[in-house]
Amino acid sequence: MIIYGNELAASFKEKMKAEIETLKKENKRLPLLTVILVGNNPASQSYVRSKEKACLSIGMENKTIVLPEDISQQELENVVQQQNEDDTVDGILVQLPLPKHLNEQAVIDKISPLKDVDGLHPVNAGALLTNRSGFIPCTPKGVMAMLESIGLDDLSGMNAVVLGRSNLVGKPLALLLQNKNATVTIVHSKTKDIKTITSKADILVAAIGQPKMVKSDWVKDGAVVIDVGINRMENGKLCGDVDFDDVCDKVKAISPVPKGVGPMTVCMLLENTLESYHNKERKNG
Ligand SMILES: Nc1nc(=O)c2c([nH]1)NC[C@@H]1CN(c3ccc(C(=O)N[C@@H](CCC(=O)O)C(=O)O)cc3)C=[N+]21
């Protein structure tokens, strides 16, 4: 079975679209996502455009703030602060990576945790760690939704292996899988004999950034494989961290690249922004 994230994302978006249409009919304020893009990295520009398109497709308001490559740390933090203080803004996303002279973590720390729809602020990371409510990073949240979509909700007794330990994906995903009762192992670039570990995985999530690294002898028969990798090959095409053609006959389910996790990431960004909107509206009564 192939888990198409683009199709799942489309069904999530239909629901959100209907919800926003209701808000419109009731003349309510609409949810608004601000995306901050620094410089002119073509890949970042293309990601930002896909986020704008996604907002538009469900009727969510969106605003992209494009800033010069050579902006200072202070100026960028000031822009973030303005968005924090703007009551019409529900979500703030600072497109990563930032130019090298800027301190990424310091910028993220400036985003109000209540508007941090990327789930990267330490308050949200800590909330996930300690089972409190907060924003869950979009890619891990998308992966969990994909597992749920094939009936994997309670993961009791299952071995889950996460390839990669980034703050953005590997670490939060390991926590989310544990919360669903999976037995979780994280493997990374310094792990010895990775293959022995991955071949015991009932659920294998690859988020390591190495094109086609996962081959069929890494994978258990009947495993579920989710491919978070987005690698651009020399011919311009995208490929994942999993060698799809090599692995696909051996597995119960696998997500492709493209049309897999990527579209779910954008979809969960919309979901988090809508959640932020509802939190805010509730508070303002
Ligand atoms: N603050 C921040 N938050 C992010 O969530 C974030 C970021 N910075 N920086 C860059 C990465 C990357 N990312 C992707 C989102 C969608 C697709 C996506 O939809 N991909 C399509 C294909 C797109 C294509 O063909 O180029 C797919 O996989 O089918 C990919 C990658 C979000 N990121």
* Residues making up the binding site: 164-166, 230
Q: Look-up: residue for tokens 């996502």?
A: 33
pLDDT digits (tens, 9 = 90+) for 202-255: 999 999 999 999 999 999 999 999 999 999 988 989 999 999 999 999 999 999
pLDDT of residue 2: 98
Answer whether residue 13 is part of any domain.
no
263 lines ligand 1 (CB under 6 A): yes
118 is catalytic: yes
Ligand 1: centre distance to CA 120 (Å): 15
Q: Which atom of ligand 1 is nearest to the CA of 137?
A: 5
Q: Which atom of ligand 1 is nearest to the CA of 261?
A: 28
CATH code at position 42: 3.40.50.10860
51 is catalytic: yes
Q: Which of 74, 94, 112 is the last residue of a domain?
A: 112
Answer whether residue 257 is part of any domain.
yes
Answer whether residue 1 is part of any domain.
no
pLDDT of residue 174: 98
Answer whether residue 247 is part of any domain.
yes
Mean pLDDT value of segment 60-67 = 98
Is omega for the bond preceding 256 within 30 degrees of 0, making it cis? no
Mean pLDDT value of segment 164-168 = 94
264 lines ligand 1 (CB under 6 A): no
Ligand 1: centre distance to CA 207 (Å): 13
Answer whether residue 284 is part of any domain.
no
pLDDT of residue 236: 87
Query: Do 160 and 95 lie in a common domain?
Result: no
Best mutation site among 51, 227, 230 for ligand 1 pocket (most ligand atoms within 8 Å of CB): 230
Q: Tell me: pLDDT of 22 over 80.
A: yes
| Cβ-defined contacts of 13-22 (< 8 Å, 24+) | 13/54, 13/57, 13/58, 13/267, 13/270, 16/58, 16/60, 16/270, 16/271, 16/274, 17/57, 17/58, 17/59, 19/274, 20/58, 20/59, 20/60, 20/274, 21/59
Query: Do 209 and 172 lie in a common domain?
Result: yes
pLDDT of residue 279: 96
Q: Tell me: pLDDT of 285 over 80.
A: no
Give the residue numbers spanning the domain of 48: 28-112
Q: Which of 112, 130, 156 is the last residue of a domain?
A: 112
Answer whether residue 208 is part of any domain.
yes
270 CB neighbour count, 10 Å cutoff: 27
Both structure tokens of 194: 């990775």
Query: Do 184 and 221 lie in a common domain?
Result: yes
Are 93 and 138 within 8 A, CB to CB?
no
Which residue, by CA, sits nearest to atom 30 of ligand 1?
262
pLDDT of residue 84: 98
The pLDDT > 90 percentage for the chain reads: 96
pLDDT digits (tens, 9 = 90+) for 94-134: 999 999 999 999 999 999 999 999 999 999 999 999 999 99
Predicted-complex ipTM score? 0.94
Answer whether residue 205 is part of any domain.
yes
Q: Tell me: pLDDT of 190 over 80.
A: yes
CATH code at position 200: 3.40.50.720
pLDDT digits (tens, 9 = 90+) for 244-270: 999 999 999 999 999 999 999 999 999
Ligand 1: centre distance to CA 273 (Å): 17
pLDDT of residue 283: 87
The residue type of 34 is T
Catalytic site residue from 90, 116, 118, 241: 118
230 lines ligand 1 (CB under 6 A): yes
Query: Do 32 and 89 lie in a common domain?
Result: yes
pLDDT of residue 34: 98
Both structure tokens of 31: 């949810």
Query: How many domains would you assign to the chain?
Result: 2
pLDDT digits (tens, 9 = 90+) for 66-83: 999 999 999 999 999 999
Query: Do 244 and 147 lie in a common domain?
Result: yes
Query: Do 142 and 108 lie in a common domain?
Result: no
Query: Do 187 and 258 lie in a common domain?
Result: yes
pLDDT of residue 8: 98
The chain-wide mean pLDDT, for the chain, equals 97
82 is catalytic: no
Query: Do 86 and 144 lie in a common domain?
Result: no
Signed CA dihedral, 127, 77, 90, 38: sign only? negative
